[in-house]
C-alpha cells in the first residue's frame, strides 16, 4: 500500500514538470509527511488541458452515504481496478496524476517497523497513477482521490510486497488521455516502476506520527 508521501518541490516547478497550463490556488509550501484525509496536489485533464488542482486523499465514491469511507479507500489495487464497481467507472473517465517527490514504506524487522524513504534516483518529482470522484452532500461537493498500487519491484520487495504505481512520462500521457477508455490499454501502464531508477534508505521513526513535519524527516539513519 501507500499511506504516506511527500511533495516539497515548488509549485511552479511542478506545473512546468507536468505541463499544467492552468492551476488553482494551491498551498505552495513543502510537505514532508502527507497523510490520508489531507488535501493533495494532483493533475487532471479537462478539455485536453492539464490543470493542477487540490483533491482530498481518500476516495469517497459518489454513492457513499458516509464520507468516512474515504479513510478506507486511500489505495486501489491495479489488479482488480477494472472489476470492482467503485473503481471501474472511474478508470474510464476520472483519472489523475498525483504529484510527489518521494514516499514512505515500513519494513518489518523482528518486532519493529523500520521506515524507509523511497524516491527516484534522479531526485525529480514524479506522479502516482490515481483516480478521483466527486461526492455531494447538499450544496457541498467534496472531490477526493485514491492512489493505485501494484506488486513491488525488486527494490521495494525488500521492504514491502506492494508499491504505488509510478508512471513514466510516456505513461502519464496515456493515463490523462480522455480518448483512451480501453481497459487493457489503461491497465498496461499500471505496472511497477523500474527498480534501477529508484533509491530507498532507512529514516527515523519521526515520520511515524503524521503530525510531524519538516525536512529532517528525510535524513538518513
Active site residue 96: no
Residue 127's nearest CA partner among 76, 68, 190, 188 is 190
Neighbours of 157 (CB within 10 A): 14
Q: Grid coordinates in use for 147?
A: 492512489
Residues 87, 173, 35, 153, CA torsion sign: positive
* Active-site annotation holder among 2, 96, 145, 172: 2
96, 105, 145, 172: the catalytic one is: 105
The residues annotated as belonging to the active site are 2, 105
Amino acid at each position: 500500500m501507500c499511506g504516506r508521501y511527500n511533495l516539497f518541490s515548488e509549485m511552479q516547478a511542478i506545473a512546468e514538470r507536468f505541463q499544467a497550463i492552468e492551476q488553482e490556488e494551491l498551498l505552495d509550501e513543502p510537505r514532508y509527511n502527507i497523510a490520508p484525509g489531507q488535501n493533495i496536489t494532483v493533475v487532471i485533464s479537462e478539455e485536453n488541458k492539464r490543470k493542477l488542482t487540490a483533491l482530498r486523499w481518500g476516495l469517497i465514491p459518489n454513492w457513499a452515504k458516509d464520507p468516512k469511507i474515504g479513510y478506507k479507500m486511500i489505495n486501489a489495487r491495479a489488479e482488480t481496478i477494472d472489476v470492482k464497481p467503485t473503481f471501474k467507472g472511474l478508470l474510464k473517465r476520472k483519472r489523475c496524476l498525483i504529484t510527489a517527490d518521494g514516499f514512505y514504506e515500513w519494513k518489518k524487522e523482528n518486532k519493529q517497523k523500520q521506515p524507509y524513504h523511497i524516491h527516484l534516483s534522479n531526485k525529480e518529482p514524479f506522479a502516482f497513477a490515481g483516480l478521483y470522484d466527486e461526492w455531494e452532500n447538499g450544496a457541498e461537493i467534496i472531490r477526493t482521490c485514491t492512489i493505485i498500487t501494484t506488486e513491488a519491484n525488486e527494490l521495494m520487495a525488500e521492504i514491502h510486497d506492494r508499491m504505488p504505481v509510478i508512471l513514466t512520462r510516456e505513461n502519464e500521457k496515456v493515463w490523462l488521455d480522455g480518448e483512451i477508455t480501453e481497459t487493457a490499454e489503461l491497465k498496461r501502464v499500471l505496472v511497477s516502476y523500474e527498480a534501477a531508477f529508484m533509491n530507498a534508505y532507512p529514516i527515523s521513526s519521526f515520520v511515524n506520527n503524521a503530525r510531524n513535519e519538516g525536512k529532517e524527516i528525510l535524513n538518513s539513519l
